Amino acid sequence: MFLNIIKSMNKNIKIALITILCIGYQIVLQAQVAKTQVVMLNVSVQNNSIKLSWPAATFSGSYQLYRRNNLSAAWGNPIAILTSNTNSYDDNTVTKGLTVEYQIAKVESNQITALGYTYAGNLYMNNAYKGGILLLIDSNYQIPLQSELQRLQSDLTMEGWTVSNMYAGRTESAASVKSRIKTAVSNARHPITTIFIIGHVPVPYSGIYSGLTAFPPPDGHVEGSGNHTGAWCTDAFYADLDGTWTDNETLTTGNDPRNQNNPNDGKYDQSRLPSELELEIGRLDLFNMPAFAMSDTALVRSYLDRNHAYRTQKTVYPNRALIDNNFGGLNLASSGYQNFSSFFLFDSIFDDRDYMTTQIDEPYLWSFGCGAGSYSTCSGIGSTANFATNDVKNIFTMLSGSFFGDWDVKNNFLRAPLGKNSLASFWGGIPKWYVHTMAMGKHIGYGTRATQNNTTNYFNGGFNNAHNLTTIALMGDPTLMNSHLPYVTNLNVSSSNNKVYLNWDGVQGNFNGYGVYRVDTSKNEYFYLGTVMDTFMVDAQNYYTGTYIYTVRPMNEEVTGSGSYINCGGGVFKSVNHTNSIDNIKPSAIQVYPNPNKNGIVQIAAQHIAYTELTDILGRNVTHIFNDNALDFSGAPSGTYLLKVYFENGTNSVVKLQKI
């Protein structure tokens, strides 16, 4: 879907009036748009069928439903046009194990008045390997938080991340830090995809946000109305490896000297991102938060302890969300309605409860709150002091209001939730955020980057031209997911009688089996051997003598508002020197036919196949099968794919497959 933004704004008021064009129709921003602008979607699955449901509505018009198999593909034409009295749709074309993304548009009088999105799947299994992550750590923490940082690195490694560390001093320039990041990325043995900033690593600033330019401050406070103009803090600078950032402009109208921008002052000029971000990024920074009466070192230690407890399932929050919308005439809370309906069933989303008092009494996995803001307060929600003195129980929270999106200030409201209970927060609604992929097991950094790079992929909310700006940032750990499982930490592996024997200590938690993998750490490839209920397994299919690495992880079928997926916990890695005297079973040469292919069904002519994976040319999973010579990818679009066949002896072969 191509979204064109036509700017028509009064620079002397807080809220810009922006007209959004979407697939040739006009989106109408109306009263109470936060909820009415969203078509909330829930998904149920059965076999190869996905059923979409949404709340019934009375209107004169239709729904237009779109589907794509690739998160970066064009939306194309509608797969269905549905009458206004319809509130469900059965899609019988989706193969089990795959994911698809849907967009639904509510059309009235040739105008789109609401949109909905969901990333849906049926028993989808994410890649066991998560990617490479750089921990960019405040050097002040190197000694006092050594054990907590080592534990975090261990947690990430067991979950499937390849971890590297870098330390930065607080007085170092942002340009110097970025130069070292680029060197680390270039020299990394395994590609770095994510940066987790821990501490008060130098904060980059960028932007010429002003009522006198094409980019007003995202919160609308132009000259004469709050004067929140100039350059704002922007961690996106670190995540952009090839964009051009300049330091030539002058803008000194802002009330805070921190935001004033001058040539060659180390603050950059770009208001919109100069290029797509290559890396996911999030920051844990609790510096200058005296309301908590603890040092930033102590606050970060507490956060890392809570992070470990959550990602090992020692802390479990109920699957429900709360929305407290104090801007009835604005669409900010639509970020809550949109994402929460992907995560949870409709009856687990509550918008009639007070943000602060409710979450002091009872926990919610996600929450959203918005209201008139300052750097440390939000009308109708609370203050930084409220977070410091109360246990506000959520893991993820979106907060939206003026000023606190520019977070590098004393007692900043956006960072405040991280000081006590929350593990991630962001300025949701300015612009609209899209983290709905977390419903299929992706981490929050994935949706953060998708939001930062969003220009035409999703409706951006139309608020003050705020999409794709340098201000968009995640506070907290970018590797967090909606659901984490406990770790297997004690694994024994031995070889005898031409077989590999594995046993491990059982772990406590909510899961339904243990997944066993043989791992090639040099290539970050995980060869899935199967899921067992016991705490032992015999690998009788490892035919070649050599040194092998194994890991065992808890597995669970997670049912969400977007369908179901197979969640994978963490586990230690153990090597074994394996001897196999047979050593004579070798895979046949691989042949795939027909290739090129029209209908998306191919046969694989080879013996001793254990696992087959189909990816697009960017390495994104399309489908996979076990112990089978037939592969069905009929639901995938035309294009070039890579078919990788893993054999029972641990080797693999790759063939380029063309669908025409």
Residue range 250-288, pLDDT digits in tens: 999 999 999 999 999 999 999 999 999 999 999 999 999
The per-residue pLDDT for range 628-659, each reduced to its tens digit, is 778 888 878 888 888 888 876 667 788 888 88
- Within 13 Å, how many C-alpha atoms sit on residue 164's CB side? 19
Reference 566, options 50, 72, 47, 96; nearest CA is 96
Nearest-angstrom CA–CA distance, 512 and 501:
21
Q: Answer with the residue of higher pLDDT: 359 or 625.
A: 359
Buried b (16+ CB within 10 A) or exposed e, 387-424: bbeeebbbbbbbbbbbbbbbbbbebbbbbbbbbbbbbb
pLDDT tens digits, residue range 569-602?
Answer: 999 999 999 998 865 444 456 778 788 888 888 8
pLDDT of residue 660: 80
pLDDT at 446: 98
Q: Looking up tokens 């024994």, which residue turns up?
A: 492
Question: Are 536 and 502 contacting, i.e. CB atoms less than 8 angstroms apart?
Answer: yes
Q: What's the pLDDT score for residue 618?
A: 59
Q: Which residues pair with 603 in a beta bridge?
A: 593, 630
User: In terms of Cα–Cα distance, which of 303, 315, 304 is closest to 486?
Assistant: 315
Instruction: Label residue 454 by pLDDT band (50, 70, 90).
Output: very high
Question: How would DSSP label each residue in 140-167?
Answer: GGTTTTHHHHHHHHHHHHHHTEEEEEEE
pLDDT score for 626: 66
pLDDT at 18 over 60: no
pTM for the structure as a whole: 0.87
Which residues are bridge partners to 623 per DSSP?
A: 614
Q: Mean pLDDT throughout 427-445?
A: 97
Q: In terms of pLDDT, which residue wins out, 15 or 156? A: 156
**Single-letter amino acid code for the residue at 470:** T
User: What is the torsional sign of CA 147, 148, 149, 152?
Assistant: positive
Cα(574)–Cα(551) distance, integer angstroms: 7
- How many Cβ atoms sit within 10 Å of the Cβ of residue 603? 13
Average of per-residue pLDDT values in the chain: 90
Q: What is the pLDDT of residue 521?
A: 82
pLDDT value at 15 more than 70: no
Q: Which contacts of 613-618 are long-range, i.e. CB under 8 A and separated by 24 or more positions?
A: 613/643, 613/644, 613/646, 614/641, 614/642, 614/643, 614/644, 614/657, 615/641, 615/642, 615/644, 616/70, 616/640, 616/641, 616/642, 617/641, 617/642
If 0-12 CB within 10 Å is exposed, 13-18 middle and 19+ buried, where does residue 123 land? middle
Domains of the chain with CATH codes: 3-124 (2.60.40.10), 134-476 (no CATH), 487-578 (2.60.40.10), 591-659 (2.60.40.1930)
* Residue 151 phi, psi dihedral angles, 5° rounding: -65, -40
pLDDT of res. 19: 27
Q: Is the pLDDT of residue 361 over 60?
A: yes
Q: Is the pLDDT of residue 558 over 70?
A: yes
Quote the DSSP letter at residue 635.
T
Query: In the prediction, which pLDDT does 567 show?
Result: 96
- Does position 236 have pLDDT exceeding 80, yes or no? yes
Residue 197: φ, ψ to 5°: -85, 125
DSSP state of 272: B
- For residue 122, which of 54, 40, 52 has the smallest C-alpha distance? 52
Rounded Cα distance between 241 and 236, Å, is 10
pLDDT, tens only, 309-327: 999 999 999 999 999 999 9
What percent of the chain stands above pLDDT 70?
93
Nearest to 219 by CA among 350, 328, 374, 364: 374
pLDDT at 157 over 70: yes
The SS3 assignment for 515 reads strand
Strands 364-370 and 349-350: unpaired
Whether the pLDDT of residue 13 is over 50: the answer is no
State phi, psi for 532 to the nearest 5 degrees: -125, 155
Q: Three-state SS for 87?
A: coil
Backbone angles phi, psi at 497, to 5 degrees: 55, 35
pLDDT digits (tens, 9 = 90+) for 178-221: 999 999 999 998 999 999 999 999 999 999 999 999 999 999 99
Alpha-carbon distance of 532 to 530, in angstroms, equals 7
For the cut 90, the answer to whether the pLDDT of residue 605 exceeds it is no
Mean pLDDT of 344-371: 98
pLDDT score, position 542: 85
Nearest Cα residue to 531 out of 507, 497, 496, 557? 557
Closest by alpha carbon to 272, among 240, 294, 301? 240
Residues in contact with 392: Cβ distance below 8 Å, sequence separation at least 6, in sequence order? 356, 359, 360, 382, 386, 417, 420, 421, 422
